């Protein structure tokens, strides 16, 4: 993810979205703990439903902890929320896929269903969007990114493996009837 927008105009909206995702996880965790407090930690059968999802005590506790971390990142801001949302989205995508594979096995320790996996993917997508547009920086960082994007300078992040952006002069000299050499 080399060139993510810096100080995007919708950054506060996406930061709020990330905070709301965290708040949902906190509320789900608290409600799940209340509903499943008398069950074993990793119960898999006869699970109570809370907010449309089946839950056991382990899943409710995990949701509460992850939700608190996401809310804290949204409150702190700076680029902490950007990095946490980017990594967190990957965690939710992978967790949804892994739990989808383990649905009908004894390894389904969190009591996931297909619905829970879909919700995990949706949360991952919301966090990914929040992370992509949540990067903040100085005015100089914004100008450097814009100059790179328009081909006026080299990569400001100095990625050795990134391809250089062609300069506009080369694009201006290009003509559709000429063949590339």
5, part of any domain: no
Q: How confident is the model at residue 162 (pLDDT cuts 50, 70, 90)?
A: very low
Structural domain boundaries, residue 171: 138-158+165-181
Q: What is the mean pLDDT of residues 107-116?
A: 91
Number of domains in the chain: 2
Q: How confident is the model at residue 125 (pLDDT cuts 50, 70, 90)?
A: very high
pLDDT in tens, 33-71: 999 999 888 888 888 998 889 999 999 999 999 999 999
Same domain, 120 and 79: yes
Same domain, 153 and 127: no
Same domain, 126 and 177: no
Looking from the CA of 95 toward its CB, the CA atoms found within 13 Å total 25
> Which residues fall within 8 angstroms of residue 112, CB to CB, at 6 or more apart?
54, 59, 99, 100, 102, 103, 120
Question: What percentage of the chain has pLDDT greater than the value 90?
Answer: 49
Q: What is the mean pLDDT of residues 16-27?
A: 95
Q: Confirm if 166 and 151 have CB atoms less than 8 A apart.
A: yes
Same domain, 127 and 151: no
Question: Left if phi > 0, otherwise alpha if psi is -120 to 50, otherwise beta: which for 78?
Answer: left
4, part of any domain: no
pTM, full prediction: 0.76
pLDDT at 158: 59
> Whats the size of the chain, residue-wise?
181
Q: Confirm if 172 and 166 have CB atoms less than 8 A apart.
A: no
């Amino acid at each position: 993810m080399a060139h993510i927008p810096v100080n995007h105009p919708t950054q506060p909206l996406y930061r709020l979205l990330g905070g709301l995702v965290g708040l949902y996880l906190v509320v789900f965790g608290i409600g799940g703990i209340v509903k499943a407090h008398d069950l074993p930690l990793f119960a898999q059968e006869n699970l109570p439903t809370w907010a449309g999802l089946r839950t056991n005590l382990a899943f409710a506790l995990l949701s509460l902890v992850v939700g608190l971390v996401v809310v804290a990142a949204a409150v702190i801001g700076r680029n902490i929320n950007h990095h946490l949302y980017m990594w967190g989205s990957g965690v939710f995508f992978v967790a949804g896929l892994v739990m989808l594979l383990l649905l009908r096995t004894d390894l389904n320790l969190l009591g996931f269903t297909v619905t829970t996996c879909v919700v995990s993917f949706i949360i991952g997508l919301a966090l990914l969007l929040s992370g992509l547009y949540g990067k903040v920086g100085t005015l100089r960082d914004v100008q450097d990114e814009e100059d790179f994007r328009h081909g006026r300078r080299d990569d400001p992040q100095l990625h050795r493996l990134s391809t250089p952006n062609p300069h506009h002069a080369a694009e201006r000299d290009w003509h559709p009837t000429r063949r590339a050499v």
